[in-house]
Amino acid sequence: MRYISTRGETQPLSFQDAVITGLAPDGGLLLPETIPDVSARLDEWRDLGFVDLALEILPLYIDDIPRETLEELVRAAYGTFSHPEVVPLIPVGDVNVMELFHGPTLAFKDVALQLLGQLFEYILSRRGEHLNILGATSGDTGSAAIYGVHGLPEIDIFVMFPDGRVSELQELQMTTVADANVHCLAVQGSFDDCQNLMKTLFADLPFKNTYRLGAVNSVNWARVLAQIVYYCYASLKFSARPPATFFVPTGNFGNVFAGYLAKRMGFPIQRLVLATNENDILSVFFNTGVYQRGDVRFTVTPAMDIQVASNFERYLYYRLGEDSERLRRFMDDFSSTGRAALGSSARDEDFAAMAVDAKDTLSVIRRTYESHGYLLDPHTAVGLAAAEQVSATGPKICLATAHPAKFPEAVNKAVGADVAHHETLEALRGLPTRRTVIPANLDAVRDFLASHARR
């Protein structure tokens, strides 16, 4: 399988090169040249566990790592999960909650980043190369990326996060990791500022090459790929008729885009429902066809406080008929005016979208705890609120993106009691921390990399 850029000006890449490259050199995002159709094989895969199913799906997209090696990497990645099923499905009322938070940092990003860490290590050690990973995080990506690569000899990781805008626990999960290859940067700005700094540095090709910068943000194809697997797994757990509808708490469009690919591969998926918080740019787009930037609002679901969704371009590429010219015009309009619109009708049968405000989010947490004794994190609650309001003919599956103990203030407030705990997190308190505060400008990040990155 080869990988092409949405912007159409990059020579097709192998899987390994796609993983190391992250963002394509032409500024686009990488996608597989074709999407395999597996509809004829679904019955034989129905009873597989998560890891065994991953070992069927991943080789369809990875043809430059020997099968036995890939199996070792996948088993190592998911061996760090504390639940025997890795991603268990829990019935909560008439919705099935898929718990994606049993990895080391208790958020769904571990599903992708534990595998990405293994892939990086394998590729770099074979090539005898070193990589400086630069990432931006609104909280969960940073710690999940750090836990994916800490202590690896071929990698340094630099994580920018908005100072004071990630929860105390999220910050502790990053800054308590003692390995010398981990560098935490508290940026005096918003998550969008961090993400823009990162994008600008990756677009500066001489700089990117000098410092051998690699990406772990959801622009990295391997992350999307790892996430495809749990949609496949969940959709096969139910009888295919009528197919399942997924409710996905959405920020960067990375998670839900993986579901879109699973559907295109032929897995029994009726629809993907995007659930956003008050930062509703995606929900407005799917309801009107207008993609318009607003100001970032800070909510009880900080991992979704995003206006410009980095993975949306991958979807747009398909939506615009795999036409890189049209895509580039759309993105240019958007970056110069903050607005772009689809000329044709806005509806896409594969998707529905709704925005959920903080009041409804907290009330869903309270009601779900009272009626079912099940504790939701606020992000998952946004998904469940959508599942309560959007009808579906088949089973409803809501993706649980974090353990409630990662967001104790909101959860305890909603329930009115001190209920959100996890031993992994309690153990962080009192550990020594390391971080560097820098202003939200390019020179500051460049200087830090110049003095700390290995060449």
Contact status: 361 vs ligand PLP (CB under 6 A):
no
Helix (H) or strand (E) holding 245: strand 244-249
The interface region with ligand PLP, picked from 33-41, 88-96, 253-261, 415-423 by CB under 6 A, is 253-261
Q: Which of residues 74-113 bind ligand PLP (CB under 6 A)?
A: 107, 109
Min separation Cβ 393 and ligand PLP, Å: 25
Least Cα distance to 310 among 202, 383, 220, 230 occurs for 220
Token output for 339: 């607005």
d(CA 377, CA 405): 7
Q: Identify the three-state secondary structure at position 351.
A: strand
By the rule CB under 6 A, 214 interacts with ligand PLP: no
Task: Tell me how many degrees the CA angle 1-120-133 measures, rounded to the nearest 5.
Answer: 115
Stretch binding ligand PLP (CB under 6 A), from 27-35, 185-193, 245-253, 337-345: 245-253
Q: With binding defined as CB under 6 A, does residue 255 bind ligand PLP?
A: yes
Q: Does 140 contact ligand PLP by CB under 6 A?
A: yes
Strand, helix or coil for residue 403: coil
How far is residue 162's CA from residue 168's CA, in Å, rounded to a whole number?
12
Tell the smallest beta-carbon distance from residue 274 to ligand PLP (Å).
8
Does residue 109 have an active-site annotation? yes
- Within 10 angstroms of residue 348's Cβ, the number of other Cβ atoms is 18
Q: Residues 379, 381, 394, 445: which binds ligand PLP (CB under 6 A)?
A: 379
Question: How far is the first Cα of the chain from the last one, in angstroms, to the nearest whole number?
Answer: 31
Structure tokens at 2: 């080869």
Q: Residue 211 interacts with ligand PLP (CB under 6 A)?
A: no
Is 250 a binding residue for ligand PLP by CB under 6 A? The answer is yes
Residue with the two structure tokens 């700390």:
452
114 binds ligand PLP (CB under 6 A): no
Closer CB to ligand PLP, 65 or 149, in the complex: 149
Name which position in 22, 142, 249, 268 contacts ligand PLP (CB under 6 A).
Answer: 249
Contacts with ligand PLP by CB under 6 A lie at 107, 109, 140, 218, 249-255, 303-304, 379, 401-402
Which residues carry out catalysis?
109
